[in-house]
Homo-oligomer: A and B are copies of this chain.
Amino acid sequence: MSTEVKSGVDTMRGSTLPAYQRIASAIRTKITSGELAPGEQLPTEHEIAEQYGVARQTVRNGLALLVSEGLIVSQRPRGHFVRRREHMIYRPQAESRPQPASPEMDRFCQQITEEGRTPTQTIDVSLIAAPADIAQRLELDEGTLIVARRRVRSINGEPVNINDSHFPLEIVKDSEIMSPADIPRGTNQALADLGYAQDRAIDEYYWRMPTPEESHRLSLGAGTPVVMHIVTGYTVDGRPVRCTRNVLPGDRHMIVYERKWE
Protein backbone atom coordinates (compact mmCIF):
# COMPACT_ATOMS: atom_id res chain seq x y z
CA MET A 1 0.00 0.00 0.00
CA SER A 2 1.10 3.53 0.44
CA THR A 3 4.50 3.50 2.04
CA GLU A 4 4.23 7.22 1.77
CA VAL A 5 3.79 9.28 4.89
CA LYS A 6 1.55 12.30 4.92
CA SER A 7 3.11 14.84 2.67
CA GLY A 8 3.76 17.57 5.22
CA VAL A 9 3.86 20.16 2.49
CA ASP A 10 1.55 22.27 4.50
CA THR A 11 3.35 22.79 7.79
CA MET A 12 0.21 24.77 8.55
CA ARG A 13 2.05 27.67 10.12
CA GLY A 14 -0.42 30.47 10.51
CA SER A 15 -1.92 30.00 7.09
CA THR A 16 -4.43 27.28 6.51
CA LEU A 17 -4.53 28.14 2.81
CA PRO A 18 -3.93 25.30 0.37
CA ALA A 19 -0.44 25.21 -1.06
CA TYR A 20 -1.49 26.23 -4.54
CA GLN A 21 -3.23 29.31 -3.19
CA ARG A 22 -0.22 30.28 -1.17
CA ILE A 23 1.95 29.95 -4.24
CA ALA A 24 -0.47 32.05 -6.26
CA SER A 25 -0.62 34.61 -3.50
CA ALA A 26 3.16 34.92 -3.30
CA ILE A 27 3.47 35.44 -7.05
CA ARG A 28 0.50 37.80 -7.10
CA THR A 29 2.17 39.96 -4.49
CA LYS A 30 5.34 40.08 -6.55
CA ILE A 31 3.34 41.24 -9.54
CA THR A 32 1.25 43.89 -7.84
CA SER A 33 4.27 45.19 -5.96
CA GLY A 34 6.16 45.53 -9.21
CA GLU A 35 8.90 43.09 -8.25
CA LEU A 36 7.79 41.17 -11.31
CA ALA A 37 7.31 43.66 -14.13
CA PRO A 38 4.81 43.37 -16.99
CA GLY A 39 6.25 41.14 -19.69
CA GLU A 40 8.68 39.51 -17.34
CA GLN A 41 9.02 35.75 -17.33
CA LEU A 42 8.16 33.60 -14.33
CA PRO A 43 10.33 30.68 -13.22
CA THR A 44 9.37 27.39 -14.83
CA GLU A 45 6.75 25.20 -13.23
CA HIS A 46 9.46 22.75 -12.33
CA GLU A 47 11.52 25.40 -10.58
CA ILE A 48 8.57 26.72 -8.63
CA ALA A 49 7.62 23.19 -7.60
CA GLU A 50 11.13 22.61 -6.34
CA GLN A 51 11.20 25.94 -4.57
CA TYR A 52 8.05 25.19 -2.63
CA GLY A 53 8.61 21.47 -2.32
CA VAL A 54 5.36 20.51 -4.03
CA ALA A 55 4.33 18.52 -7.08
CA ARG A 56 4.25 20.24 -10.42
CA GLN A 57 0.49 19.87 -10.63
CA THR A 58 0.11 21.90 -7.48
CA VAL A 59 2.11 24.71 -9.01
CA ARG A 60 -0.05 24.48 -12.10
CA ASN A 61 -3.17 24.95 -9.98
CA GLY A 62 -1.65 28.11 -8.56
CA LEU A 63 -0.65 29.47 -11.95
CA ALA A 64 -4.11 28.65 -13.32
CA LEU A 65 -5.55 30.90 -10.64
CA LEU A 66 -3.37 33.79 -11.77
CA VAL A 67 -4.21 33.15 -15.40
CA SER A 68 -7.91 33.25 -14.60
CA GLU A 69 -7.37 36.54 -12.79
CA GLY A 70 -5.77 37.92 -15.92
CA LEU A 71 -2.46 38.56 -14.17
CA ILE A 72 -0.26 36.22 -16.18
CA VAL A 73 -0.36 34.49 -19.54
CA SER A 74 1.10 31.23 -20.69
CA GLN A 75 3.04 31.25 -23.94
CA ARG A 76 3.59 27.68 -24.75
CA PRO A 77 6.19 26.35 -24.75
CA ARG A 78 8.15 29.38 -23.68
CA GLY A 79 6.80 29.84 -20.18
CA HIS A 80 4.57 32.08 -18.12
CA PHE A 81 4.79 35.84 -18.34
CA VAL A 82 3.36 38.77 -16.43
CA ARG A 83 0.60 40.21 -18.53
CA ARG A 84 0.86 43.64 -20.13
CA ARG A 85 -2.27 45.70 -20.47
CA GLU A 86 -3.08 48.75 -22.51
CA HIS A 87 -6.41 50.36 -23.13
CA MET A 88 -7.90 51.99 -26.15
CA ILE A 89 -10.35 54.76 -25.34
CA TYR A 90 -13.87 54.09 -26.53
CA ARG A 91 -16.35 56.98 -26.63
CA PRO A 92 -19.88 55.87 -27.50
CA GLN A 93 -21.05 59.47 -27.47
CA ALA A 94 -18.76 60.34 -30.33
CA GLU A 95 -21.14 58.77 -32.85
CA SER A 96 -24.00 61.08 -31.86
CA ARG A 97 -21.95 64.24 -31.90
CA PRO A 98 -21.34 66.53 -34.82
CA GLN A 99 -17.84 67.47 -33.69
CA PRO A 100 -15.19 67.19 -36.40
CA ALA A 101 -17.80 65.94 -38.85
CA SER A 102 -16.35 62.46 -38.75
CA PRO A 103 -18.62 59.47 -38.85
CA GLU A 104 -18.33 56.41 -36.74
CA MET A 105 -15.80 54.51 -38.76
CA ASP A 106 -13.64 57.50 -39.42
CA ARG A 107 -13.41 58.17 -35.77
CA PHE A 108 -12.25 54.67 -35.18
CA CYS A 109 -9.63 54.93 -37.91
CA GLN A 110 -8.60 58.39 -36.93
CA GLN A 111 -7.94 57.57 -33.34
CA ILE A 112 -5.89 54.57 -34.22
CA THR A 113 -3.84 56.10 -36.98
CA GLU A 114 -3.03 58.98 -34.69
CA GLU A 115 -1.33 56.43 -32.53
CA GLY A 116 0.71 55.16 -35.43
CA ARG A 117 -1.17 51.92 -35.80
CA THR A 118 -2.94 50.43 -38.77
CA PRO A 119 -6.69 49.93 -38.54
CA THR A 120 -8.61 47.57 -40.77
CA GLN A 121 -12.07 46.12 -40.76
CA THR A 122 -13.92 43.32 -42.44
CA ILE A 123 -17.57 43.80 -43.30
CA ASP A 124 -20.13 41.13 -43.93
CA VAL A 125 -23.78 41.83 -44.67
CA SER A 126 -26.48 39.22 -44.52
CA LEU A 127 -30.18 38.67 -44.11
CA ILE A 128 -30.97 36.83 -40.91
CA ALA A 129 -33.92 35.87 -38.76
CA ALA A 130 -33.96 38.28 -35.84
CA PRO A 131 -32.69 36.67 -32.64
CA ALA A 132 -34.77 37.31 -29.54
CA ASP A 133 -32.68 40.08 -28.01
CA ILE A 134 -32.44 42.07 -31.24
CA ALA A 135 -36.07 41.50 -32.17
CA GLN A 136 -37.23 42.81 -28.84
CA ARG A 137 -35.17 45.98 -29.15
CA LEU A 138 -36.27 46.61 -32.72
CA GLU A 139 -39.85 45.91 -31.65
CA LEU A 140 -40.23 43.11 -34.16
CA ASP A 141 -41.32 39.51 -33.82
CA GLU A 142 -38.57 37.01 -33.22
CA GLY A 143 -37.56 35.42 -36.49
CA THR A 144 -38.52 38.41 -38.67
CA LEU A 145 -36.04 38.89 -41.48
CA ILE A 146 -33.61 41.70 -40.74
CA VAL A 147 -30.34 42.98 -42.13
CA ALA A 148 -27.19 42.21 -40.17
CA ARG A 149 -24.09 44.19 -40.96
CA ARG A 150 -21.22 42.52 -39.17
CA ARG A 151 -17.82 44.04 -38.71
CA VAL A 152 -14.62 42.91 -37.09
CA ARG A 153 -12.25 45.77 -36.46
CA SER A 154 -8.56 45.12 -36.20
CA ILE A 155 -5.41 46.95 -35.37
CA ASN A 156 -2.19 45.76 -36.93
CA GLY A 157 -4.02 42.63 -37.96
CA GLU A 158 -5.13 41.85 -34.40
CA PRO A 159 -8.92 41.91 -34.02
CA VAL A 160 -9.98 44.30 -31.28
CA ASN A 161 -13.73 44.27 -31.39
CA ILE A 162 -16.82 42.79 -32.94
CA ASN A 163 -19.50 45.20 -34.09
CA ASP A 164 -22.76 43.83 -35.47
CA SER A 165 -25.46 46.26 -36.54
CA HIS A 166 -29.03 45.20 -37.26
CA PHE A 167 -31.69 47.05 -39.24
CA PRO A 168 -35.31 46.35 -40.12
CA LEU A 169 -35.26 45.00 -43.66
CA GLU A 170 -37.86 47.34 -45.11
CA ILE A 171 -36.02 50.53 -44.28
CA VAL A 172 -32.57 49.64 -45.62
CA LYS A 173 -33.63 47.38 -48.47
CA ASP A 174 -31.92 48.32 -51.73
CA SER A 175 -29.76 50.90 -49.96
CA GLU A 176 -25.99 51.04 -49.71
CA ILE A 177 -26.27 49.68 -46.18
CA MET A 178 -26.88 46.29 -47.78
CA SER A 179 -23.53 46.46 -49.49
CA PRO A 180 -20.56 44.96 -47.67
CA ALA A 181 -18.42 47.99 -48.32
CA ASP A 182 -17.26 50.75 -46.08
CA ILE A 183 -19.62 53.70 -45.91
CA PRO A 184 -17.29 56.63 -45.44
CA ARG A 185 -19.91 58.96 -44.00
CA GLY A 186 -21.15 56.28 -41.63
CA THR A 187 -24.20 54.05 -41.51
CA ASN A 188 -25.94 56.46 -39.20
CA GLN A 189 -25.72 59.19 -41.82
CA ALA A 190 -26.79 56.73 -44.49
CA LEU A 191 -29.78 55.86 -42.37
CA ALA A 192 -30.55 59.56 -41.97
CA ASP A 193 -30.36 60.02 -45.75
CA LEU A 194 -32.98 57.31 -46.08
CA GLY A 195 -35.27 59.39 -43.90
CA TYR A 196 -34.58 57.62 -40.63
CA ALA A 197 -32.38 60.04 -38.75
CA GLN A 198 -31.72 58.91 -35.24
CA ASP A 199 -32.73 61.27 -32.52
CA ARG A 200 -32.15 59.23 -29.41
CA ALA A 201 -30.22 56.12 -28.42
CA ILE A 202 -30.19 53.74 -25.51
CA ASP A 203 -26.89 52.15 -24.50
CA GLU A 204 -26.88 48.98 -22.48
CA TYR A 205 -23.82 47.34 -21.03
CA TYR A 206 -23.21 44.08 -19.30
CA TRP A 207 -20.07 42.10 -18.81
CA ARG A 208 -19.19 38.45 -18.68
CA MET A 209 -16.57 35.97 -19.72
CA PRO A 210 -16.40 35.43 -23.48
CA THR A 211 -17.86 32.42 -25.21
CA PRO A 212 -15.29 30.12 -26.80
CA GLU A 213 -16.32 31.51 -30.17
CA GLU A 214 -15.68 35.08 -29.07
CA SER A 215 -12.39 34.04 -27.54
CA HIS A 216 -11.43 32.61 -30.87
CA ARG A 217 -12.60 35.53 -33.02
CA LEU A 218 -10.87 38.05 -30.79
CA SER A 219 -7.84 35.93 -29.88
CA LEU A 220 -8.57 36.36 -26.21
CA GLY A 221 -6.51 34.79 -23.51
CA ALA A 222 -8.08 33.24 -20.44
CA GLY A 223 -8.92 35.72 -17.73
CA THR A 224 -10.09 38.39 -20.18
CA PRO A 225 -13.72 39.42 -19.68
CA VAL A 226 -15.75 41.18 -22.36
CA VAL A 227 -18.36 43.88 -22.27
CA MET A 228 -21.48 43.55 -24.35
CA HIS A 229 -22.52 46.97 -25.51
CA ILE A 230 -25.93 47.18 -27.15
CA VAL A 231 -27.05 50.41 -28.80
CA THR A 232 -30.61 50.92 -29.92
CA GLY A 233 -31.22 54.00 -32.06
CA TYR A 234 -34.63 55.66 -32.40
CA THR A 235 -36.05 58.17 -34.82
CA VAL A 236 -37.76 61.28 -33.53
CA ASP A 237 -41.05 59.35 -33.83
CA GLY A 238 -39.72 56.83 -31.33
CA ARG A 239 -39.27 54.06 -33.85
CA PRO A 240 -36.23 51.82 -33.32
CA VAL A 241 -34.26 51.70 -36.56
CA ARG A 242 -30.94 50.26 -35.51
CA CYS A 243 -29.64 47.82 -32.94
CA THR A 244 -25.90 47.39 -32.66
CA ARG A 245 -24.17 44.76 -30.60
CA ASN A 246 -20.54 45.40 -29.71
CA VAL A 247 -18.21 42.94 -28.04
CA LEU A 248 -15.35 44.74 -26.33
CA PRO A 249 -12.48 42.77 -24.79
CA GLY A 250 -11.42 43.98 -21.36
CA ASP A 251 -7.77 44.13 -22.17
CA ARG A 252 -8.19 46.52 -25.08
CA HIS A 253 -10.83 49.04 -24.17
CA MET A 254 -11.85 51.71 -21.75
CA ILE A 255 -15.24 53.41 -22.09
CA VAL A 256 -15.47 57.13 -21.43
CA TYR A 257 -18.66 59.17 -21.10
CA GLU A 258 -19.09 62.80 -20.40
CA ARG A 259 -22.31 64.21 -19.04
CA LYS A 260 -23.81 67.50 -17.99
CA TRP A 261 -25.79 68.00 -14.83
CA GLU A 262 -29.38 68.71 -15.76
Contact = CB atoms under 8 A, between A and B. Distances in A.
A204 B255 contact: yes
Contact of A206 (B96, B202, B254, B261): B254
Interface residues of A, number: 44
A18 to B, nearest CB: 13
A139 interface: no
B262 A208 contact: no
Nearest to A258: B202
A202 B261 contact: no
Interface in A176-208: 197-208
Given A28-B212, A212-B28, A225-B225, A206 B257 contact: no
Interface stretch (A41-49, A63-71, A102-110, A156-164): A63-71
Contacts of A203: 255-259
A243 to B, nearest CB: 14
10 contacts: A25-B212, A69-B211, A87-B206, A93-B259, A199-B261, A202-B256, A203-B255, A203-B257, A204-B257, A225-B250
